[in-house]
Structure 1
Amino acid sequence: MLFIDLDGFKAINDSLGHGVGDDLLQVCAERLRQDLRHTDMVARLGGDEFVIVAENLADASSAVAIANGVLQRLAQEIVVNGLPLRVSASIGIAFYPCDGGNADELLHSADAAMYAAKQSGRNTFREFEPQMNHTALKSLILQRDLHRALSDDELSVSFQPKFGVASQSVTGVEALVRWRHPELGDIPPLEFIPIAERSGLIISIGDWVLREVCRNIALWDAQGLPAISVAVNLSPIQFNVPDLVDRIDALIEEAGVDPCRLMFEITETTAMQNIENTSRTIEALQGRGYTVAVDDFGTGYSSLGYLQRFRFDQIKIDGSFMRDLDASGHRGNALLAAVVTLARALQIEVVAEGVETESQFQTLSELACDQMQGFLLSRPLPAGEVVAFLRAAADRVVVGQGSYAVSAG
Structure 2
Amino acid sequence: AERAEVITQLDRKVVELMLDTYHNWQDRKLAINLSGTSIIDPDLVDWLYDRLQNISGSDLDIYFELSELSVVRNLEAVTTFSRRVKELGHHIGVDHFGRSFSNFGYLKSLQPTYVKIDRAFTRELELGSKDAYFFVGSLRSVAHSLDIKVIGEGVEKQGQLSLFEELRVDGIQGYLIEQPKLMTSKF
Q: Is 1:216 equivalent to 2:16 in the alignment? A: no
> Equivalents in 2 of 1:273, 1:229: separation in Å?
28
Superposition RMSD in Å: 2.1
Is 1:269 matched up with 2:69? yes
Structure 1 position 211, deviation (Å): 1.6
| Number of equivalent positions | 187
Which residue does 1:375 correspond to in 2? 175
Find the partner of 2:6 among 186, 201, 208. 201
Residue in structure 1 matching 2:166, options 361, 366, 371:
366
* Deviation for aligned residue 1:239: 0.7
Q: Does 1:297 align with 2:102?
A: no
Aligned to 1:352: 152
Identity of aligned residues (%): 27
Q: Secondary structure at 1:382's aligned position in 2? A: coil
1:255–1:308 Cα change, 3 Å:
closer
* Contact 2:32–2:64 (CA under 8 A) maintained in structure 1: yes
Deviation at 1:259, TM superposition (A): 7.8
Alignment match, 1:384: 184
Note the 1:330-345 alignment, pairs <5 A.
330-345=130-145
Given the alignment, which residue of 111, 125, 135 partners 1:311?
Answer: 111
Task: Name 1:100's counterpart in structure 2.
Answer: none
CA spacing shift, 1:274–1:259, aligned 2, 3 Å: farther
Q: CA–CA distance in 1 between the matches of 2:184 and 2:112? A: 31
1:265–1:295 contact (8 Å) kept in structure 2? yes
Structure 1 distance, partners of 2:9, 2:176, is 33
1:354-400 alpha-carbon deviations (Å, 9 max, x no partner): 11111110111112211111111112111223x2xx4xxxxxxxxxx
Structure 1 residues 306 and 278: CA distance shift in structure 2, 3 A: same
**TM-score between both structures, scaled by the size of structure 2:** 0.89
1:293 touches 1:313 (CA, 8 Å); kept in 2?
A: yes
Q: 1:313 is aligned with what amino acid? A: T
- Structure 2 distance, partners of 1:315, 1:254, is 28
1:200–1:319: structure 2 CA closer, same or farther, 3 Å change rule?
same
Unaligned runs of 5+ in 2: none
The 5 Å alignment of 1:102-251 reads 198=3, 200-220=5-25, 225-226=26-27, 228-251=28-51
SS state at 1:383 partner: coil
Cα deviation, residue 297, structure 1: 0.3
The normalised TM-score by structure 1 is 0.43
Query: Which of 71, 74, 86 matches 1:286?
Result: 86
- Hey, which of these two has a bigger chunk of strand by percent? 1
Give yes or no for contact 2:95–2:118 (8 Å, CA) kept in 1.
yes
Q: CA deviation at 1:292?
A: 0.4
Query: Retained in 1: the 8 A contact 2:64–2:91?
Result: yes
One-letter amino acid of the counterpart of residue 210, structure 1: V
Work out which of the two has the higher radius of gyration on C-alpha atoms and give 1 or 2.
1
Specify the SS of the correspondent of 2:168.
coil
